[in-house]
Amino acid sequence: MNEINQLMTPQVSIILPVYNRKRLIMRAIDSVQQQTFGDWELLIIDDGSDDGLHDLILPHLAVQPRWRYLKHANRKLAASRNIGIHAALGRIITFLDADDQYLPDHLSLRLTYLQQHPNVQLIHGGAIFIGPEETHWVRDAYHPERLIHLSECVIGATLFGYKQVFIQSGGFKLLPYSAESEFVDRVEKTVTVHRVAFATYVYHTGLPDSICTLRKQKNDS
């Protein structure tokens, strides 16, 4: 019964939105499986993939009770994250992009930070960037005419905070760009948000359809 209760009330819900990342998603999932902190659930939110992702994930569900899989028509990243937020069973919510990964102490260090800072309801930051340096720059959400390094951005998948923060704020707005920045700006008006420095989120850049690569192609054209 204790095991069942733990599955129904995990401490952390990890929301992993995915669209056509069959060839990469197991790297991300394996990094969750390797966490030193074990009281989590993984919500795989399939945003209308047509690359056979369903056939890859479905056999695992019978033997991975902490995984859940939800699929809908393509609605983009913000909507997929919002669906995961409402489906999450955990008291704390965080994210993982399908082409990225966690270092083994990612969850434990972030949970410890919240426990040691009871006035903080949401944290973000702490990413390592893997890929060509020229793909580490994106358009500044506040000053679109200039570029900004990813280390200065709000990396949405590094958000880690209490579910009530996401629910009460209404989650992510369906914006064409940088919904994460708008989200943090909005919730900072009502709760305490910290940017952390410990780099435990591995952010891979340089994929053909990543935001960084598409930005570089646009600038080069």
* Residue pair 17/47 in contact by the 8 Å Cβ criterion: yes
Instruction: Give the closest residue to 211 by CA, choosing from 76, 95, 85.
Output: 76
Residue 38 backbone phi and psi in degrees, to 5: -110, -5
Q: What pLDDT tens digit does each residue of the chain (221 aa) get?
A: 456 556 679 999 999 999 999 999 999 999 999 999 999 999 999 999 999 999 999 999 999 999 999 999 999 999 999 999 999 999 999 999 999 999 999 999 999 999 999 999 999 999 999 999 999 999 999 899 999 999 999 999 999 999 999 999 999 999 989 999 999 999 999 999 999 999 999 999 987 765 544 444 444 44
- Taking the C-alpha atoms of residue 137 and residue 2, their distance in angstroms, rounded to an integer, is 47
Domain residue limits at 31: 2-220
- pLDDT value of position 218: 46
The dihedral region occupied by 126, where left means phi > 0, alpha psi between -120 and 50, and beta the remainder, is left
- Taking the C-alpha atoms of residue 57 and residue 175, their distance in angstroms, rounded to an integer, is 29
Q: How many domains does the chain have?
A: 1
Burial class (CB within 10 angstroms; exposed 0-12, middle 13-18, buried 19+) of 175: middle
Sign of CA dihedral 24, 30, 35, 37: positive
Q: Could you read off the pLDDT of 6-18 as tens digits, one per residue?
A: 667 999 999 999 9
Which amino acid would we find at residue 80? S
Instruction: Give the closest residue to 32 by CA, choosing from 112, 126, 105, 114.
Output: 105
Listed in order, strand segments (DSSP E) in the chain are 12-18, 40-46, 67-71, 92-95, 101-102, 122-124, 127-130, 137-139, 147-149, 160-162, 193-195, 201-204
- Taking the C-alpha atoms of residue 120 and residue 184, their distance in angstroms, rounded to an integer, is 13
Q: Could you read off the pLDDT of 50-89 as tens digits, one per residue?
A: 999 999 999 999 999 999 999 999 999 999 999 999 999 9
- pLDDT value of position 220: 47
- pTM of the shown model: 0.92
User: The domain that contains 86 carries what CATH number?
Assistant: 3.90.550.10
